[in-house]
Amino acid sequence: MTYTLVLLRHGESEWNAKNLFTGWVDVPLSEKGRAEAVRGGEFLKEAGVLPEKLFTSMLRRAIMTANLALDAADRHWIPVERHWRLNERHYGALQGKNKKEIRDEYGEEQFMQWRRSYDVPPPPIEAGSEFSQDADPRYAGEPIPATECLKDVLERLLPYWESRIVPEIKTGKTVMIAAHGNSLRAIVKHLDDISDDDIAGVNIPTGIPLVYELDEKTLKPVKKGGTYLDPEAEAKIAAVANQGK
Ligand SMILES: O=C(O)[C@@H](CO)OP(=O)(O)O
């Protein structure tokens, strides 16, 4: 027997469209992003992959994507849990900055190190600044970061994965996680045992369900990398990799 896990990155956000580093800034979906979310739900329905339990981050682009996708799949009624541990990687002082401008100012190497290295975080965001989250009531009392590298994301996400998500998967329910490019890269790294170096080359496209069948004993993927439900996923993955160029 296998368990089914669906990973869904939110549809295009307004800041994805403007090529801005987003992180924990709570921006809405663009019109294209809403359409991607609905299409994502249609892919689920067509494939007969019907989520029974939903986990989301605390950010509206993931929440709205899940709502739109599940509505399109007639699964809008399933129980949901939300947690900041599924949030996007905190992009520190880069939040709100244009990716191309940062690349032009600091050069390709520094840009890629901040964007895709496993263990080098961008400079921390200043408390109280325009795009910081320190006064946001949804995180009150929580140990939230001021910047994160992917390693930090994995370290804050894994306790939630183990304590809340794994038990749901083990009930045999089809579990869906609606989250973000980098929080999902952390989950994929963990599931597929991807090395710290190789994870730099993994990009996740917006709004396309990624389905993993997990071995019931090991909880490891039966097929490494899972299966994207959109036949055009490859081109969309390449577009994410090339952002900032
Ligand atoms: O800006 C961000 O928060 C993320 C996801 O959109 O970007 P990147 O793919 O550059 O890590």
The CATH number of the domain holding residue 29 is 3.40.50.1240
Q: What is the CA radius of gyration of the chain?
A: 17
Q: Which amino acid residue places its CA nearest to atom 8 of ligand 1?
A: 115
User: Residue 242's pLDDT is what?
Assistant: 84
Please indicate, yes or no, whether the overall pTM of this predicted structure exceeds 0.90.
yes
> Within a 10 A sphere around the Cβ of 98, how many other Cβ atoms?
16
Annotation says 180 is catalytic: no
Please give the Cα distance from 146 to 228 (Å, whole number).
33
pLDDT, the chain, mean:
97
pLDDT tens for 26-36 read: 999 999 999 99
Annotation says 88 is catalytic: yes
**Residue 219 belongs to domain spanning:** 2-241
User: Residue 244's pLDDT is what?
Assistant: 73
> Within a 10 A sphere around the Cβ of 236, how many other Cβ atoms?
17
What domain count does the chain have? 1
36, 88, 148, 168: the catalytic one is 88
